[in-house]
Chain A
Amino acid sequence: MIEKDINSFEQLYKACNIANVAIYKVAQTREAYLSEKTEQEVRKTVKRSLDAMKTAIKSGLKSNELSLSGMCGSDCEKLQKRFANKGAIFGKTFEKITTYALATSEENLRMGVIVACPTAGSCGIVPSVLIAAGEDFNISEDEQINALITAGEIGRIISNKVALAGAVAGCQAECGVAAAMAAGALTQMLGGSVRQILNAVALAMKNLLGLTCDPVCGLVEIPCVKRNAFLAIHAVTASELALAGVESKIPLDEVIDALEQTGKLMSPTLKESSQAGLAKTKTAIALENRLFKK
């Protein structure tokens, strides 16, 4: 029997347990059934996203071209130079994750090709974690696809309750959810159980509740670009804790309820309208005046 009514993490957990399979397997079977495709075809679509993520990282690492506004675009280069001279204190994988996240985000704002995962503003988080760990831990392409499906399924279930849009629920629903997806994907790649994956997601999400969306000049640049690097590392922390057996005392579905409620209670001025927070600082206003006079 194909389980298609999976609208909560509890249902997902049960479906995995009954069939004794991983999250990606339940997800790809369901997707194939609903879209009237074969599982191989579904995986091919996922591979297309994975390949595009790799291409975006490659081009992003080579460029220092600025965005249309001229505000961002050269930070990845700085980070690469530092790491070339002096390694990161957390080691090689940390270097890769942070540079890949910036490379992808900067590629996005200079109108390069990226994968919205789940959104364009949060496009650096899942790829940086997935691909850096994939390289450093020798994870096969097939397993990377499994991890990306896991990330997608996590995002899908969250999106049943909360629209993944800064304008609706703040950045917690964009970069926050991306970090939760990345935490789940990494835990899958490192051999975590379904329970550990869901705990990784809960731990990542819990610690980003309340994150507002207050972009300077209304553009996907400040603070979005650098936030991608920060939250990629956040995802790794959640995964490490979960793999160690640390559990979220609040079950994941309840964490998502809290995400939804926090999004509703968040002032509209802090939800992608650029009317408060960083967007209304003295410097942001000056940048805005300069930009819109052009």
Chain B
Amino acid sequence: MAQSSFIDIITPVMVGPSSSHTAGAVRLGLLARNVYDAKPHKVTFRLYNSYAQTGFGHGTDKGLLAGVLGLSVDDKRIRNVFDLPEAKLIAYKFEYLEDFNRHPNAVDFIFEGDLNMFVAGDSVGAGEVVIRKINDFTVKFTGKFNTLLLVYRDVPGMISRVTKLIQERNINIASLHCDRYAKGEEASMCICLDGELDEQILKLIEGIENLYLVRYVKKLEQ
């Protein structure tokens, strides 16, 4: 069993009213923003199931937008996020759907801009979240670890090339998740780390051949 922490029980300090429907929404927004890592012109939020049904009374829509704008879970401005100047600089819309194959608190982010991107995640309870999908790839990360995300061409040796660079910095890998579209085609890698990557090592990683996308998503502040 993974060791639990008592700090998780007496945190987070957050804007109410719901850890899953408000704080979880902010955290999903923050992670999606960091994965996208650009200024979107437009964001479409698709809320599913319980998020769609009870979201308005829990400020779920406000939380999602606040996260995408970079506000933290304890930022008082969340309740008035629609009136913030930052919010007026992007177009956004909310869609409410039902799909029982999805988690009760699932959400899709559809980013449009110079880069288009699809990010999907779930708020799994007590403010904990999981990002499950980026474009067509399944990933799995929670914002509890610094995470390196790569989309690349599925050729032999990619994992070792990347992990070798990480190992050289003496950084431990907490988990590694790979997925691919088909042999020799697009593939994804999601590496959760115990340590931090600096600019220099990220440059080295970006220099590896056959990479389409590199994102370093820092762990969320408690």
Contacts and interface: CB of A to CB of B under 8 A. Distances in A.
Interface string B68-108: 00000010101100000000000000000000000010000
Contact of A163 (B22, B54, B125): B125
Most buried by A among B10, B56, B58: B10
B11 interface: yes
Given A45-B222, A218-B50, A114 B58 contact: no
For the residues of A in contact with B, the DSSP-based class is: helix
B59 interface: yes
Contacts of B5: 31, 34-35, 156
B54 A219 contact: yes
A119 B19 CA distance: 6
Interface stretch (A145-153, A202-210, A232-240): A145-153
A111 B79 contact: yes
B74 to A, nearest CB: 5
A258 interface: no
Contacts of B74: 52, 113
B142 to A, nearest CB: 16
Interface residues of B, number: 38
A218 B16 contact: no
B13 A220 contact: no
Interface in A118-163: 118-121, 123, 126, 148-149, 151-153, 155-156, 159-160, 163
Nearest to B222: A45
Interface in A156-198: 156, 159-160, 163-165, 167-168, 181
Nearest to A24: B6
B6 A218 contact: no
B213 interface: no
B7 interface: yes
A212 to B, nearest CB: 17
Of listed B8, B14, B16, B58, residue having the most chain A CB within 10 A: B16
A31 B7 contact: yes
B57 A119 contact: no
A67 interface: yes
B160 interface: no
Given A48-B13, A108-B17, A110-B16, A116 B6 contact: no
B170 interface: no
A69 interface: yes
Contact of B9 (A109, A120, A159, A291): A159
How many interface residues does chain A have, given as a range? 35 or more
B126 A119 contact: yes
A156 B54 contact: no
B1 interface: yes
A281 to B, nearest CB: 18
Given A120-B22, A218-B53, A115 B11 contact: yes
Nearest to A115: B13
B23 A120 contact: yes
B72 to A, nearest CB: 11
A115 B14 CA distance: 6
B23 A116 contact: yes
A27 interface: yes
B207 to A, nearest CB: 31
Contacts of A116: 11-12, 14, 19, 23, 126-127
Task: List the 3 closest pairs (A to B, CB-CB), nearest first.
Answer: A108-B16, A152-B6, A155-B9
22 contacts: A31-B7, A42-B7, A46-B10, A49-B13, A52-B74, A67-B57, A107-B16, A108-B16, A114-B15, A116-B14, A116-B19, A117-B10, A123-B16, A149-B6, A149-B10, A151-B9, A152-B7, A152-B10, A153-B6, A159-B9, A219-B57, A220-B16
